[in-house]
């Protein structure tokens, strides 16, 4: 009788053992579904931004509102994914550019503080991926648009330059941006600009690209000030060979 009860209880015991595995599979399936849906919504937002690059005049307020709903849904479904924060940063950066150009669409949408929104999303993304130089570069741009020439801007420039030493778009961007804003930058930030200038000139010799033309750096009105700063720097630099 005892043996019969033993075998009779086996299915129940097996079901009990399988229950955690079944629950785990259900949880994983739910996560996979949420992530898949997030990617669908994110793709819609990306398409919206790409279409705006080609012809922003074709986009109306309804399309922008729908795109923001898709973005919000994306972040709800997958709130700890850095790429989506980068997408959100790009979304609000685009809105800020429309606001800067006094596009009537902004008044209709009544969305303000877009540059600050872009900065906050860049910060959130960097908390997840602090080694991603492109997002550091976007943080720098947001800080500049907000005219926040502080330690965070200096740190962002340092991380962007350090993490992407051979990325022309970043080095050239920091070099030109830094020269444009030279009088407003902290002393430490100017050192990062010098590093970016040196890297830009080195990459231009290896692979000259018109869009990152080093001549624009050398002919910049504030390049002489950069040379003066370089002459006072304790670090070894090849920049002096380009200075007057």
Report pLDDT digits (tens) over 170-205: 999 999 999 999 999 999 999 999 999 999 999 998
What pLDDT shows up at residue 3? 47
Statement: residue 33 has pLDDT above 90: no
Do 96 and 121 lie in a common domain?
A: yes
What pLDDT shows up at residue 19? 72
Do 108 and 146 lie in a common domain?
A: no
Per-residue pLDDT band at 243 (split at 50, 70, 90): confident
Per-residue pLDDT band at 32 (split at 50, 70, 90): confident
State the average pLDDT over residues 206-230.
91
Q: Report yes or no on 220 lying in a domain.
A: yes
Q: Which long-range contacts (CB under 8 A, 24 or more apart) does 89-94 make?
A: 89/118, 89/119, 89/121, 89/122, 89/125, 89/135, 89/138, 89/142, 90/49, 90/118, 90/138, 91/45, 91/49, 91/67, 91/118, 92/117, 92/118, 92/121, 93/118, 93/138, 93/141, 93/142, 94/49, 94/52
Do 169 and 234 lie in a common domain?
A: yes
Statement: residue 52 has pLDDT above 60: yes
Among 130, 147, 177, the domain boundary falls at: 130
What pLDDT shows up at residue 177? 96
CA distance 217 to 236: 20
Q: Report yes or no on 16 lying in a domain.
A: no
State the average pLDDT over residues 46-60.
84
Mean pLDDT of the chain: 88
Do 139 and 117 lie in a common domain?
A: no
Do 124 and 172 lie in a common domain?
A: no
Q: Report yes or no on 6 lying in a domain.
A: no
State the average pLDDT over residues 61-81.
94
Do 200 and 234 lie in a common domain?
A: yes
Output the CA torsion 194→200→202→206 (10° steps): 180
Do 111 and 164 lie in a common domain?
A: no
Per-residue pLDDT band at 88 (split at 50, 70, 90): very high
Q: How many domains does the chain have?
A: 2
The shares of helix, strand and coil residues in the chain, as percent rounded to the nearest 5, are: 80, 0, 20
CATH number at residue 78: 1.25.40
State the average pLDDT over residues 85-114.
90
Statement: residue 79 has pLDDT above 80: yes
Do 74 and 155 lie in a common domain?
A: no
Q: Report yes or no on 143 lying in a domain.
A: yes
Write the CB contacts of 16 (distance below 8 Å, at least 6 apart in sequence): none
Per-residue pLDDT band at 95 (split at 50, 70, 90): very high
Share above pLDDT 70 across residues of the chain, in percent, rounded to a whole number: 91
Coil, strand or helix at 234:
coil
Statement: residue 43 has pLDDT above 60: yes
Residue 185, burial from CB neighbour count under 10 angstroms (0-12, 13-18, 19+): buried
State the average pLDDT over residues 102-109.
86
Statement: residue 132 has pLDDT above 90: yes
Write the CB contacts of 44 (distance below 8 Å, at least 6 apart in sequence): 67, 70
Among 111, 130, 149, the domain boundary falls at: 130
State the average pLDDT over residues 71-92.
94
CA distance 164 to 162: 6
Answer for the pair 143, 120: CB distance below 8 angstroms, yes or no. no
Do 157 and 106 lie in a common domain?
A: no
Q: Which domain covers residue 91, as residue numbers? A: 37-52+59-130
Among 82, 99, 130, the domain boundary falls at: 130
């Amino acid at each position: 009788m005892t043996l019969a009860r033993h075998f009779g209880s086996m299915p129940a015991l097996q079901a009990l053992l399988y229950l955690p595995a079944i629950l785990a599979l259900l949880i994983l399936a739910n996560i996979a579904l949420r992530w898949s849906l997030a990617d669908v919504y994110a793709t819609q937002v990306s398409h919206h931004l790409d279409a705006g690059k080609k012809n922003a005049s074709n986009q109306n307020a309804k399309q922008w509102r729908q795109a923001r709903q898709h973005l919000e849904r994306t972040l709800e479904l997958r709130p700890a994914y850095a790429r989506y924060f980068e997408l959100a940063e790009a979304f609000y950066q685009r809105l800020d550019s429309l606001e800067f150009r006094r596009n009537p669409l902004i008044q209709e949408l009544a969305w303000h503080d877009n540059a600050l929104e872009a900065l906050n999303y860049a910060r959130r993304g960097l908390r997840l991926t602090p080694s991603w130089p492109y997002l550091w570069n976007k943080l720098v741009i947001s800080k500049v648009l907000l005219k926040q020439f502080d330690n965070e801007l200096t740190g962002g420039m340092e991380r962007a330059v350090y993490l992407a030493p051979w990325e022309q778009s970043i080095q050239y961007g920091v070099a030109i941006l830094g020269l444009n804003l030279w009088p407003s930058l902290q002393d430490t930030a100017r050192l990062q600009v010098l590093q970016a200038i040196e890297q830009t000139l080195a990459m231009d010799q290896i692979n000259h690209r018109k869009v990152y033309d080093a001549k624009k750096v050398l002919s910049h009105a504030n390049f002489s000030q950069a040379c003066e700063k370089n002459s006072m720097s304790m670090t070894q630099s090849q920049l002096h060979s380009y200075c007057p």
